[in-house]
Amino acid sequence: GAVVSQHPSRVICKSGTSVKIECRSLDFQATTMFWYRQFPKQSLMLMATSNEGSKATYEQGVEKDKFLINHASLTLSTLTVTSAHPEDSSFYICSAYGTGDEAFFGQGTRLTVV
Amino acid sequence: GENVEQHPSTLSVQEGDSAVIKCTYSDSASNYFPWYKQELGKRPQLIIDIRSNVGEKKDQRIAVTLNKTAKHFSLHITETQPEDSAVYFCAALPRAAGNKLTFGGGTRVLVKP
């Protein structure tokens, strides 16, 4: 199947700083990627849809100025958590589709804001 | 938008017994229903999926059933093993949603040896 690679897998940052997470499709092109957030013992919640060459579309309640998404190429989407606070600590996961309906997920990024 | 409910939230079974997880969805336009297994700190892994033109699908110890009329779909794991312990998520994909999967709340399965 298709491979989606996400980096970093873990990051600890200080409150008020920004963190960038990368999501790459390794063996296919993805015009659309998806970013999810998962709090402990909870489900995956879609944050935004990343669209290559255009603005991301955000789900209701997700602050677009806080979670900046850039999809500059067909294989790379980045999520930047700006001015991070402890409540932003979570597991962030990206996904993309190959040629069918199956979604392929990145490894996830465990963000801890201290 | 689509809403997916999943039950139970936790399930404890004895090794060798069967486990059943049930989901309901709200959008009749949904036509693809995957099931994922997620181990702690790892990415969700697709274990089986079913499309709306099929009522049942089986892959070794895992089976999924779909009732389109009732908007129900279920995961069945037979002969459970300790390595089946994980969190399982159902999901639904509406045809016109731009590939936006909606996940159920998850079921934490514990298989006791």
Query: Which tokens go with B90?
Result: 């159902």
Please tell me the distance in Å from A95's CA to the nearest CA on chain B: 10
Alpha carbon distance A17, B3 (integer Å): 35
Question: What is the predicted pLDDT for the residue at A38?
Answer: 96
Average pLDDT (A38-54) is: 93
Question: What is the predicted pLDDT for the residue at B1?
Answer: 83
Question: What is the predicted pLDDT for the residue at B52?
Answer: 87
For chain A, the residues whose C-beta falls within 8 A of a C-beta of chain B are 32, 34, 41-46, 49, 91, 93, 95, 97, 101-103, 105-108, 110
* Mutation for B interface: A24, A36, A101, most B CBs within 10 A: A101
Identity (one letter) of the amino acid at B79?
E
- Say if CB A78 and CB A21 are below 8 A apart: yes
Contact A49 B100 (CB under 8 A): yes
The pLDDT confidence band at residue A17, using thresholds 50, 70 and 90, is very high
Percent of chain A at pLDDT > 70 equals 99
Contact A97 B99 (CB under 8 A): yes
For chains A and B, CB pairs below 8 A equal: 50
When the pLDDT of each residue in chain A is averaged and rounded to a whole number, the result is: 94
- Say if CB A92 and CB A109 are below 8 A apart: yes
Residues of chain B with pLDDT under 50: none
The pLDDT confidence band at residue A105, using thresholds 50, 70 and 90, is very high
Identity (one letter) of the amino acid at B65?
T
Average pLDDT (A36-64) is: 94
Question: What is the predicted pLDDT for the residue at A2?
Answer: 81
Query: Which tokens go with A96?
Result: 């993309």
* Mutation for A interface: B43, B93, B110, most A CBs within 10 A: B43
**Burial of B89 (C-beta count, 10 Å sphere; 0-12/13-18/19+):** buried
Contact B105 A49 (CB under 8 A): no
- Say if CB B94 and CB B3 are below 8 A apart: no
Please tell me the distance in Å from B61's CA to the nearest CA on chain A: 21
What's the pLDDT tens digit per position in A72-90? 899 999 999 999 999 999 9
Q: How many CA atoms lie within 13 A of B74 on its CB side?
A: 13
For A2-66, what is the HEC assignment?
CCEEEECCEEEECCCCCEEEEEEECCCCCCEEEEEEECCCCCCEEEEEEECCCCCEECCCCCCCC
